[in-house]
Amino acid sequence: MVKRDSSDQDVEKAFRRVVKKVHPDKGGEVAHAQRLQDAREKWLLAKKKAQSGRPRKYDRQPTSSKSNASQPTGILPVLGKQAPRFRAYMIRSPAVLLTYHGIAELDWRGFLAWVQLQVPAWGVIHWCASMERCGSGQPHVHLMLQFASASDSRGVDGFIFNSARPNACATDVCGEGLSKKHFQRSVDRGTFYVWADKIGTIFAPDNKPFTDGNYTPCWTDCAKTYQVLGKWPETLWKQRKITTEVYEKLLFLTRDGVLSRQRNLQACLDREEAIASRAAVEERVVRIRSNPQLYKPFPQVPEAQAWLKLFEHDALRYPILVVLGASRSGKTEWAKSLFQQPLELKIGTLEFFPETMRQFKRGHHDGLVLDDVRDLQFLVNHQEKLQGKYDCLVEFGSTAGGTCAYHRDLFGVPVVICWV
């Protein structure tokens, strides 16, 4: 919360925190963003005059509906050092990211022709533009410009296209601004943000994206190119601005930290695939069990219910339930119906517990079902593990010498053996 006696640093932090929420690219309203920016301009003006708190009454600009009616809306921050009075909305940075709202897809070619015509007058050496759709579905245009030098006489009004006044920003919308130490690199990062095939990028009927410019990545066919660091597409991917397929393609094109980033990407892909597979299984189970012609609930077996009650009290050892039945007789389905979240292990002819045993989580799984057990020798060899131990964890798998091993706690966990 900002108060009248808050420090300048706290005020700046609060402004950056709020502007991220109200920015049109983040789903906010343009009017709210304009009001916030106007308040910041007045605060900066008051700070420059060594005044505390709000600017004086006679420093405020008129806010009548008549005066606002002729002013286009948009975020128009002052880039660089604060401009003098009546010279707000001036671009004093060697690079700027402009965002245009209200430009239709049919105007894209006209917009590019207008930019190419204005580039010499603007003093631009590098530029890149793209059109995409925001969360509301409305198109907007990003235009990244790098000037030959900073200027005090470059106003935002000079970049109006067909009455569309742009929002000016000194960042690349990924939360990072222009760096003084690595200026060109930060400009290239902002240019890459505009060029990248982000989620929402609009494509032409020939499947080409609405992207153009005279400054593109080094793997493209362009007279002026720049190197793309691997962390740039990685940041866009982490912020969900590009798809996984696009990120994987860019990962190899950058040739920067491919192995480490590919391992991270593959781990995320495996996780997403596992979640999707479990969701598909759960949906299939609900669908089949809701069909009375395919699935009929199993009747309660008194012996099994009495066996489950044994686990409600502490004991040194717990008995194991063995279910004997022919293949495809439904014994595994019946065994799993005894629990809410059982972990099923396929044993077959294995001599050791399968890798699935690593997935057991105490507190989540309330039972263990060993399916397709063909030899009770497996039960004899692993009896002490399946019955659990109250005073220690049980080692379920290890390498020679026990260098790499994993342990689980099965004390008080019901175990059902489905014996063929």
Report which secondary-structure segment, H or E, holds 332: helix 331-336
Q: What is the pLDDT of residue 79?
A: 41
Separation between Cα atoms, residue 412 and residue 77, nearest integer Å: 64
* 3 state SS of 412: coil
Separation between Cα atoms, residue 115 and residue 105, nearest integer Å: 16
Separation between Cα atoms, residue 92 and residue 368, nearest integer Å: 68
Q: Which of 319, 299, 317, 297 is nearest to 308 (CA)?
A: 319
Q: What is the pLDDT of residue 272?
A: 93
Stated pTM of the model: 0.65
Under DSSP, the state recorded for 259 is: H
> Which residues of the chain, if any, have pLDDT below 50?
51-88
Q: What is the pLDDT of residue 173?
A: 56
Q: What is the pLDDT of residue 248?
A: 95
